[in-house]
Amino acid sequence: MAASRTRPVAVAVIGLVVVTVYAAWAALQILVLNPLAAGPGRSLAQIHAEMDAAGQAVGIPPTLGILAIGPLLAAAVLVGVSRGHLAARTTAMLTLALLALGAFGYFWASFMWGMNLADTYGIGGGDHSPWARPLYAVSLASLVGLIAVAVAGVVRDRRAPASVV
């Protein structure tokens, strides 16, 4: 692999890993941590049984399907980089954008779970576990990073000497 391709590939691989960890953390939060916090003193099996008895069961595959969108897009970025279509800066910006949008994906994937927990237990539909906060923090930091990388790129491009065609 040419040295000029090593950096973008490394950025894309790291991005794929980080986006996948984000999605896995979101799945753990939605499927395990938040239900346990919403139903204190109950096992996860009891919570699922009570949700089912109340007619509030939520399917796990749709939740995982929504959360898989980010890693699939990160994998597409890696394919684009491996084919030589993306520079390191573009790859970093795409990865940061995926992480920033992760908060929306998390909300979308967790919405029905939260509402069904609320209907089952007569509680609020928001997060009851504090472990969603790191997801929102990563998304916010990624948005700030995305803006910083974009601004730095514009500044660098403006300072570069103009090429003669």
Domains of the chain, by residue range, sit at: 3-155
Q: What token pair was written down for 155? A: 């500044």
**Residue 43: which pLDDT band, with cuts at 50, 70 and 90?**
very high
Give me the mean pLDDT over the 154-161 stretch. Answer: 79
- Whether the predicted pLDDT of 129 surpasses 90: yes
Residues sharing a CB contact under 8 Å with residue 83, sequence separation 6 or more, in sequence order: none
CA separation for the pair 8, 80 (Å, rounded) = 10
Contact 123, 117 (CB under 8 A): yes
Q: Which of 1-10, 22-31, 120-129 has the highest mean pLDDT?
A: 22-31
Contact 66, 108 (CB under 8 A): yes
- Per-residue confidence (pLDDT) for residue 1, from 0 to 100: 47
Helix (H, G, I), strand (E, B) or coil at 2: coil
- Per-residue confidence (pLDDT) for residue 162, from 0 to 100: 65
DSSP annotation of 1 reads -
